[in-house]
Structure 1
Amino acid sequence: MSAKIITIAQQKGGAGKTTIAAQLGVAFANRGRKVGLIDIDPQGSLAMWYEVRKQLVDEAGGGITFVQASGWRLATELDRLKRTCDLILVDSPPHAETDVRIAVRGGDLILVPMQPTPLDLWATQPTLDMAKKEKTPALVVFNRTPAKGKLVDAVRKKIQQAEMPVAAAVLGNRVAFAASLMEGKGVLESNPRHTATKEIKALADEIAVKLGF
């Protein structure tokens, strides 16, 4: 078995990398996929979510295998998980270029979460440049997106002008995403009919098509 690897990367902190890693992990596990999560962020937020998941949901992780790794161990853990998983999601830190580059190089797809703000827009290009240099396909994902507004429209226009690869699926600015993580779950588990669930499912569908998965 050789898993598909998705690296979630963004130079700017607070873009929602960990939230997307956990939510997509649950979404794909719910489809019967064997999912591996690797946390290479020293902050360890994904590790904390997984510990809560083991306590409140399932001792075995609810269909998800978790590893915390960095540096030289990252490549080793990726190789190990590739033998037992269908999909591996790597949650990367904002400022650790060596580890991020290893994860980008080993990925089949780079997801770049971006809030619709000028700061996020400016911070996104270096990650896309890294993905291009490592010859790994990338996809920008709008996250924490307000329902409407002039700023959102302006950022969308700038993205189009820059010809960035942008996902059709958009994740809204919804409390449900964070609330589910507090329970060690994904929103698909905690609130199956919520709009947030529809959004994460749409993103998972889009990724699956891109990866031929």
Structure 2
Amino acid sequence: MGRIIAIANQKGGVGKTTTAVNLSAALAARGKKTLLVDMDPQGNTTSGLGLEKNELDKTTYEVITGEEKIQNCIVKDLFDNLSLLPANRNLAGAEIELMTVDKMQFIMKHNLEKVKKQYDFIIIDCPPALGMLTVNAMTAANTVIVPIQCEFYALDGLTQLIYTIELIQKSLNPDLTIEGVVFTMYDARTNLSLQVVENVKSYLNQNIYKTIIPRNVRLAEAPSHGLPINLYDPRSSGAESYDLLAEEVIENGGEN
């Protein structure tokens, strides 16, 4: 039965979508049946996997509003072992529409329960905000992975994210845990990156993944070609790093 992992950080530009896409692709490459769920109205996960997001009429939005069954909205086997529940700008309206729905926090959970037996992993790319879409994702998830950029303000907002996760644990999803923190955009040439890693390690009482994702040109190029990094440039340092992260996630209890 699929383990559901939310990739979350309310700060933008921390490599959240990059991590969601490339971790999913690396898990799929290791033979794990994987569903990637785009819950960000920007739809960058969807376009980064080669789909024309604004031409889609069966997306996460239709699932949340009950207009379509989730089974009808999943783009199956977009790549080997990797399927996608896509999103586009319509999803922005769901935040408001959800306010009037009974048990609105559980909509994604109920929908994913219908399909999770088909997958080893379900990875949810959350929006860079702690609104109702992120709450839905975390209520549905078993664990949360938090990408943190190796920059001066890395810890900004992290306290709020952890507080939100604790609130969801208390009231909506008592089994939710922080699976781990993963450092992104690491630049070995700067002392700052190393300092940020050390600061976060001393500040956080959380599991921190050994794998650190480097700042990598090929990684930045891959979405414009509609491919995950392991298909765009499998020999790049970015591809190697996400493969190592996938191995850690599997070993980290990422399989039931």
Distance 1:59 1:95 in 2: 28
Q: Tell me which stretches of 4 or more aligned residues in structure 1 moved more than 4 Å.
A: 69-73
Q: Which of residues 111, 124, 131 is equivalent to 1:97?
A: 131
Q: Which of residues 202, 213, 218 is equivalent to 1:176?
A: 218
Alignment of 1:114-129 (within 5 A): 114-129=148-163
2:202 matches 1:158: no
Identity between Structure 1 and Structure 2 (%)? 25
SS across alignment from 1:61: strand
Query: Could you tell me the TM-score, scaled by structure 2's length?
Result: 0.74
Deviation digits for residues 39-82 of structure 1 (CA, Å, limit 9, x no counterpart): 111111112223449xxxx9840132211476544223322231
Query: Could you tell me the TM-score, scaled by structure 1's length?
Result: 0.87
Task: Give the AA of the match of 1:176.
Answer: R
Correspondence for 1:145: 186
Cα distance change on mapping 1:31 and 1:17 into 2, 3 Å: same
Distance 2:191 2:77 in 1: 45
Q: How many residues align?
A: 209
Task: Give the AA of the match of 1:11.
Answer: Q
The Cα RMSD (Å) is: 2.4
Correspondence for 1:64: 82
Distance 2:29 2:201 in 1: 33
Correspondence for 2:115: 81
Task: Give the AA of the match of 1:61.
Answer: L
Correspondence for 1:38: 37
Deviation digits for residues 76-123 of structure 1 (CA, Å, limit 9, x no counterpart): 332223132111010001124222123223222211111112323212
**Structure 1 residue 19: Cα displacement:** 0.9
Give the unaligned 5+ runs of structure 1: none
Q: Which of residues 221, 232, 245 is equivalent to 1:190?
A: 232
Give the unaligned 5+ runs of structure 2: 53-74, 99-103, 170-175
SS across alignment from 1:121: coil
Distance 1:125 1:26 in 2: 30
Cα distance change on mapping 1:77 and 1:176 into 2, 3 Å: farther
Higher-Rg structure is 2
SS across alignment from 1:151: helix
Check whether the contact 2:76–2:82 (CA below 8 A) recurs between aligned residues. Answer: no
Correspondence for 1:113: 147
Distance 2:159 2:140 in 1: 20
SS across alignment from 2:214: coil
Check whether the contact 2:47–2:223 (CA below 8 A) recurs between aligned residues. Answer: no
Which deviates more from structure 2 when the two are superposed, residues 185-194 or residues 73-82? Answer: 73-82
